[in-house]
Structure 1
Amino acid sequence: MSDSEEWVIGETAAPGPEPIEDAEAEANKIHERATDAERRRESRAAANARFDALGAMSGLSLNANTVIFGDAQVDTLIGGDNYRSGSGAGFERSGRVEPHKLRHLDQIFVPPPRFEQLCDRLGAQAVLLLRAPKGWGRTATALRALSRQCASGVHKLSPDVELRSLDIEFDRCTGYLFDTPHSQQLRTLSEFHLEQLGRRLVEVESRLIIVVDDQAELSPDADPFVLDVGEPADVTAILTKHLLQHLADDDLGVLSRLEVTALLSSVTEHRPSAHELVNLATLLVDVAADRVDIAEVVSRYVAAEDNRFRQWFDELDTDTRPFAIALAVFNNMPLHIVSEAGRALASSIVDAEALVEGAKPGHTVFGVRSTELLSRAQAQSYRSYEDTLYGRITVSAVRFVDERFPQWLLRYTWEEYPAAHQLVRDWLRELGGADDLRVSTRAGVAVGLLSTFEFEYARRLVIEPWADSGQRHDQYAAIGALQFSSLQPELAPLVAEMLEAWVQPAQPMARRVTATAALGSTVGQLMPDRALRLLRRSARSSDPDLRDAVCYSITELFGIRELDIRVLRDLRRWTVSRRRGVRYTGFLCILQLSFDLVAETVGSVQPWPRLVWLADQSDEHHDHIVVLFARLIQAPYFPPAAYAEIKRWVYVAERDPQFRGPLGRLLVDLETADQNSGVVPFHLREWAGEDGGPTVACNELLTLLDAKQGG
């Protein structure tokens, strides 16, 4: 019997290792690990810090959607080749593209000259390779063509999809977009595979566009499926469309001003990306409303931005340059963190230069005032908040005036100053072990950005040492370091293969733990099939740290709305596996999902346990959760922890009457599924009789159970 086969509830599992002698001790240990509030706080803090770091370093505003509260959505992780409005709306990296986003795209889309040819080709040919340079507007163009052709909507395929496998399940009349697959897959995607793929799509009246870079190496016989996009859409037309989203027709006269005409001529000549054009349109809206002077906009786009940036950095003094690099890593963080990190880097630079020059200059405590330092670094301070062990405090935080500076600065340092590579790398490696979780995570994400320039060096010299150290903050840094590379089409397959190797039993345990915990982050969210397969492999182990890492990643994946059902299905298979370790870890995951995740509901007194909330949202969720908890309360060693968790639910119901109905419906079906009928009512009566117990909730829940049994 394979791991994927299920047994009925209550059936005896296949023999495993010898049973644990002290069942009571094991039961207590289960409850302690699954309901460890400090572990939950740290894991949530790590996930939030990771997303804050990605947003600050990429110049985007991100949400930590690994935990979803209430109706939160999974937003675009990293902005790519998208049309984006001023409100930040974008298209998901994988999964269904929401209809309202396609409707918005229709409103702002300007077709390039060969768009109708693209649509005609797509009508006659089920598979198309759309070849265009990055920034051309290729993603928006492909989505618009697919939505026009396919009545049932559009899906973006995960970067982990292997097109040659031909085992993808396509929905009828649906458009599919595969955005910039990795080079190895493109080179081996032959005419034969494309024809077979096309036949399957034709059978269900669906279409697929594969977006490829203009320099991508394709299979020699793939030419019949390739369409070169030609010229991009007209710049003025794009700007006009976007301006009309915010201005009346009478206000479009801004495009006729001499300064704007000259600016558009320059922009057309140098052709910025579609994203930059949207930014320009936003500025022109401000010009029309007299919020921004046109001279500022002209200055920004006519001058050579790259040269200005290079000149700025090259002219920084020895105090400001390390501060600026530190701010690139710790943008939007408290000033004391940035300053301390900057001083550490400055000391390393001084030491390195002293070896060359033979003299070590002294440090001055009162050398440069913060106001001067911020001015030179083109940064600003603002009031923010910092959560401490004893509550929230107000702090002075700092950030670059231009949100693009963090990524620009690190990239420029790497491209132009090779002598600084080791210094910066060693500095970040040390920061990865900092006591402050935010510092270690930021250092990790910065190494991840640098790994997109030099992946092998970053892996060998920083990421693997962090992963192998066995220190929790080092491991969080290593996880952070995998985020940027997993979002790069050319590096994502390498990261996937690396994690596959890291989780093998022959690897050091610390490395296995790090890899397993990383599978719940952006890395695993972009390749859920592979991530869940590797997590089940780690779940076989009896090592408590590895099991904790599995639970951590399962919780992260479950927090993504599109993946929660998939996670529940896998846990149903895990909890009937022939492997005792997989069953045991699966039960731990169920407890942790219940204890860790909550849902905010309208009018509720307090957050609800997310599992109970989900069970009330759909029959499919309800069925999975009932089965999993019924198995949990029948599994050896787990009933005490399971009933302790149900008791916690009942206390929520005591404080929140709205919660009693959803909880009662779940308990009714749980009592039906449990072969030891009568146990749930027994516990409810026992809890109701305790001093200060949840008497009102227990009595209402017992009434519901009695009514169901009587019916």
Structure 2
Amino acid sequence: MSPYEPDGAAPGPAAPGGPRADAGEGRASDDESAPDSQDEAGASEEAEQNSEESDRPQKAWDARRDLMAHSPAYAFGDTARFGGSLVNGDQTILPEGNVTGDVILGTKTVIHQTSFFGAGHASGEIPRESLERMAGFVVTDGPAFENALQHLRRDRFVVLSGPHFTGRRTAALMLLHRLGVSSVRALDRSTSPGDVAHQLEGGGADSVHGHVLCDLVTGRDLPLREPHLLAARDKLTEQSGYLVITVGPNAALEDIDVVKWRPPPADAVLHAHLLDLTRDVPELAPGQGTVGRVKELEQLPAVVDFLSRDHQLREVAAFARILADHARGKVSAAKVTEFSLATLENQVQEWFDDPATHLRDKAFLISLAAFNEGPYALTAELSDLLYTLLQKTEGGSSRIPVFGTSIDKRLQLARARLYEQDEATEWGPVPQSKAAYVDERASLVLLREVWTGHPSSRPAFVNWLRRLADDGRPLVRNRAAVTVAVLTVVDLPSAMALVIEPWATDKLYRRRLAAASSLVLAHYLDAPNVLRILDGWCADEDDERLRWTAIRAYALLGPAEPEAALTALRATARRRDRPGTDTDSPAYEEEAAELASALELLLLSRIGVRVLPEISDLLRGAPSEHELALRTFLGACGRIDTSGEDATGRPLLMEWFGRTASEGGRDAHTIAALWRAALNDRGYTTLALDRFADWVRIADRDPTAEWELASLLALLATADADRRRLAHLLRTMPGERGGPPPPVTTRLLTVVGPAPR
């Protein structure tokens, strides 16, 4: 048994009653989300009505911005979150790579390790021989151990306080061993604090006896008090004995001076174990002996990766045994590599299988997986919402204690950290206290375990995700999409049936947007058949909601899949010309606007050079394609670079035109041709003139923009009709606040030339 295994089940509140279902696929039902009372039903109906009234389709440009700003690092990879310019750069689109793959979201890795998680230690005597054996590989260097040893020598007792699985019991035994005790007697952890002194037994006349009491059970009505220890010290002095008590960070103590235990570094523990375990292994590094063998093992990439993560000492000890067996040829290199992920998977399974872990804590673990790297307060708030939904599944009352939840206790259970970082908001960066799993893989592993290992949680989980998708905060809505994307990779059929398809056909735009975002992110996480799903929805002639969702998804996904996106969007536009189409219906106009927004995003992404010729080609297509080209182009003309410190404040297409015009590129002539088509089209002349006037006003305060606009005018003013129209615009357009034309118009008129009389 590893010296770093626990003494017994971690203390904690008992789980609420109710059976746990382990099989059967849950399905979101009307009953699950049904309110508990008539008052709650009325409030729910009113909230739903208000939600519908406030529902508006978010612009594709803003949806892309929110998706990039509020997704965790694993969703796209590190390069997706920083850098790049707006036009032909990396920041306006979603990147092509993914970082998870099959390693984390695939099949669970199973490693059979004897006594990996340990068992409780019963009362009884631990012989000196066992202590001698343990002393051969236990690390006792460090200030925490020396401080505890000093207290023990002085007072004959010491109370070690620290989290579980940090080697507290091992440290307790080694403290007694350092004092030269002949044997150690382990006391029952359920011993009452007031009975500790009565449990102490003396050694022989010429021997020193030690006692260890690990994970003493305490509570508000059963604290460990100073008189208890003073009584124990009196008896220990009479018997020439010593006592070490270990407690958790949240133990009930009164007037007790504790020593806070800090575990030794994982690399030092691993090194000590390997030295002990590989003494019989033939030399791996000739001439260097055991130390050489250990160093060679420690330099393996899998070992370096293992030590870079936050593994508990029990896991380090188990890993040392795996490495020793690998050195003997009994374990493959693949098993060594898989061990780190396997320990994480076992930890997650342990969290949910342990009945001592309260349902509210389990809800927090799930919420933290969804909101990893997000604000702690938000994570805790939404975990309580999930808790109420899970309580309904278990048949309990949906009541949440308002106070009494410790941040430190929650984060300790989750093996998570708290840190300060700015959070992006629509008002600018705001400092927040954020929470994240120390092991960045934990979110994905946990979500997979909940969805596939505990299907009875699905109704509550699905209901919770729907509430998140309806939330008014962009961070919450987008994290719902990220979570659903992970579930889609894990189990596409169930995720589609229970979440994505109901959202994609919902009357609320925000749910359709959540479905689109979920599929986009699932594609980046390597879920299968996403493009086939979107193509099928684009071609669906009976459901305009499905088409809307697919168009929005291709707007976000297009830069990574340009051929598929352009083909699908153009085919959708072409089908709008089929006989019998009601071109005056609101749905027809809504779809036209969504198609234009999708192509606009693609045009202003890093694949814009491939999209621009397609836009030009649409001008010569069917009427709906011609309209789509002009709407897309004029929409893009209004987009201004406002991203980052290097933002120019000029329209993105103006910058693009100026860059290619100075190089004599074809794109400049294509942009000019689109301007000419927009100015000459009766249906879009007014909008085109307004956009052009905006460019002129920007050129009035930006010399670079003036040069770019002058170059554009030189290409546009090739016919008399064009010169007359442009000259009239320059002479009559109002200034910024409705005053006379800005001064730049006089200079630009010289480029247009005098209009013929």
Q: What's the counterpart of residue 581 of structure 1?
A: 624
- Following superposition of structure 1 onto structure 2, how do residues 606-617 of structure 1 map, counting pairs within 5 Å? 606-617=648-659
1:61 maps onto 2:78 in alignment: yes
Q: Deviation digits for residues 529-551 of structure 1, max 9, x if unmatched? A: 22112112333444122122212
Change (3 A) 1:450 1:691: closer
Post-superposition offset of 1:347: 1.1
Quick one: distance in 1 between partners of 2:398 and 2:57? Answer: 46
- Following superposition of structure 1 onto structure 2, how do residues 608-627 of structure 1 map, counting pairs within 5 Å? 608-618=650-660, 619-627=665-673
Quick one: distance in 2 between partners of 1:671 and 1:39? Answer: 41
Q: Secondary structure at the match of 2:417?
A: strand
1:336 maps onto 2:377 in alignment: yes
Change (3 A) 1:49 1:347: same
Question: 681, 686, 709: which one pairs with 2:727?
Answer: 681
TM-score for both structures, normalised by structure 1: 0.59
What one-letter code is carried by the residue in structure 1 that aligns with 2:615? L
Q: Deviation digits for residues 672-692 of structure 1, max 9, x if unmatched? A: 278533211221121267854
Q: Quick check: 2:61–2:601 contact (8 Å CA) kept in 1?
A: no
Change (3 A) 1:301 1:472: farther
Quick one: distance in 1 between partners of 2:630 and 2:83? Answer: 21
Q: What's the counterpart of residue 503 of structure 1?
A: 538
- Following superposition of structure 1 onto structure 2, how do residues 4-15 of structure 1 map, counting pairs within 5 Å? none
Quick one: distance in 2 between partners of 1:338 and 1:532? Answer: 38
Change (3 A) 1:362 1:571: closer
Quick one: distance in 2 between partners of 1:555 and 1:377? Answer: 43
Question: 560, 563, 569: which one pairs with 1:529?
Answer: 563
What one-letter code is carried by the residue in structure 2 that aligns with 1:585? L
1:470 maps onto 2:522 in alignment: no
Q: Quick check: 1:378–1:401 contact (8 Å CA) kept in 2?
A: yes
Question: 586, 593, 599: which one pairs with 2:636?
Answer: 593
Post-superposition offset of 1:72: 3.6
Post-superposition offset of 1:564: 0.7
Quick one: distance in 2 between partners of 1:555 and 1:66? Answer: 21
Q: Quick check: 1:445–1:477 contact (8 Å CA) kept in 2?
A: no
- Following superposition of structure 1 onto structure 2, how do residues 214-293 of structure 1 map, counting pairs within 5 Å? 262=294, 265=297, 272=302
Q: Quick check: 2:600–2:633 contact (8 Å CA) kept in 1?
A: no
Post-superposition offset of 1:622: 0.4
Q: What's the counterpart of residue 750 of structure 2?
A: 703
1:49 maps onto 2:69 in alignment: no
Quick one: distance in 2 between partners of 1:513 and 1:681? Answer: 41
Quick one: distance in 2 between partners of 1:399 and 1:341? Answer: 15
Post-superposition offset of 1:280: 7.4
Quick one: distance in 2 between partners of 1:409 and 1:502? Answer: 31
Post-superposition offset of 1:663: 1.4
Post-superposition offset of 1:642: 0.6
Quick one: distance in 2 between partners of 1:586 and 1:638? Answer: 11
Change (3 A) 1:572 1:60: closer
- Following superposition of structure 1 onto structure 2, how do residues 134-283 of structure 1 map, counting pairs within 5 Å? 262=294, 265=297, 272=302
Q: What's the counterpart of residue 181 of structure 1?
A: none
Post-superposition offset of 1:415: 3.8
Change (3 A) 1:335 1:600: closer
Post-superposition offset of 1:300: 11
Question: 315, 319, 327: which one pairs with 2:368?
Answer: 327
Q: Quick check: 2:731–2:741 contact (8 Å CA) kept in 1?
A: no
Post-superposition offset of 1:589: 0.6
1:403 maps onto 2:440 in alignment: yes
Post-superposition offset of 1:333: 2.1
Q: Which moved more, 1:440-449 or 1:334-343?
A: 334-343
Quick one: distance in 2 between partners of 1:324 and 1:262? Answer: 37
Quick one: distance in 2 between partners of 1:512 and 1:464? Answer: 12
1:456 maps onto 2:493 in alignment: yes
Quick one: distance in 2 between partners of 1:694 and 1:413? Answer: 64
Q: Secondary structure at the match of 1:642?
A: helix
1:560 maps onto 2:605 in alignment: yes
Quick one: distance in 2 between partners of 1:260 and 1:482? Answer: 51
Q: Quick check: 1:331–1:398 contact (8 Å CA) kept in 2?
A: yes
Q: Identity rate of aligned residues, in percent?
A: 21
Quick one: distance in 2 between partners of 1:445 and 1:323? Answer: 17
Quick one: distance in 2 between partners of 1:260 and 1:443? Answer: 50
TM-score for both structures, normalised by structure 2: 0.56
Q: Secondary structure at the match of 1:348?
A: helix
What one-letter code is carried by the residue in structure 1 that aligns with 2:384? R
Q: What's the counterpart of residue 519 of structure 1?
A: 554
Gaps of 5+ in 2: 1-54, 103-284, 323-338, 352-356, 577-582
Quick one: distance in 1 between partners of 2:82 and 2:500? Answer: 24
Quick one: distance in 2 between partners of 1:71 and 1:520? Answer: 16
Q: Secondary structure at the match of 1:446?
A: helix
Post-superposition offset of 1:408: 1.8
Q: Secondary structure at the match of 2:440?
A: coil
Post-superposition offset of 1:451: 0.9
- Following superposition of structure 1 onto structure 2, how do residues 636-647 of structure 1 map, counting pairs within 5 Å? 636-647=682-693
Q: Deviation digits for residues 598-629 of structure 1, max 9, x if unmatched? A: 3779988x421111111122212201111111
Pairs aligned (count): 475
Q: Secondary structure at the match of 1:383?
A: strand
Q: Secondary structure at the match of 1:396?
A: strand
- Following superposition of structure 1 onto structure 2, how do residues 350-389 of structure 1 map, counting pairs within 5 Å? 350-354=391-395, 359-360=396-397, 362-386=399-423
Q: What's the counterpart of residue 112 of structure 1?
A: none
Post-superposition offset of 1:424: 2.0
Q: Quick check: 1:466–1:477 contact (8 Å CA) kept in 2?
A: yes
Change (3 A) 1:258 1:446: farther
Question: 653, 667, 680: which one pairs with 1:634?
Answer: 680
Quick one: distance in 1 between partners of 2:711 and 2:377? Answer: 52
- Following superposition of structure 1 onto structure 2, how do residues 409-488 of structure 1 map, counting pairs within 5 Å? 409-487=446-524
Q: Quick check: 2:538–2:547 contact (8 Å CA) kept in 1?
A: yes
Question: 711, 724, 738: which one pairs with 1:665?
Answer: 711
Change (3 A) 1:345 1:39: closer
After superposition, the CA RMSD in angstroms is 3.9
Post-superposition offset of 1:70: 5.9
Change (3 A) 1:257 1:592: farther
Q: Quick check: 1:432–1:466 contact (8 Å CA) kept in 2?
A: no
Change (3 A) 1:531 1:428: same
Quick one: distance in 2 between partners of 1:71 and 1:374? Answer: 42
Q: What's the counterpart of residue 115 of structure 1?
A: none
What one-letter code is carried by the residue in structure 1 that aligns with 2:501? E
Gaps of 5+ in 1: 1-37, 83-252, 285-291
Quick one: distance in 1 between partners of 2:703 and 2:57? Answer: 27
Q: What's the counterpart of residue 549 of structure 1?
A: 594
Q: Which moved more, 1:67-76 or 1:434-443?
A: 67-76
Q: Quick check: 2:727–2:749 contact (8 Å CA) kept in 1?
A: yes
Q: What's the counterpart of residue 196 of structure 2?
A: none
Q: Quick check: 1:445–1:483 contact (8 Å CA) kept in 2?
A: no
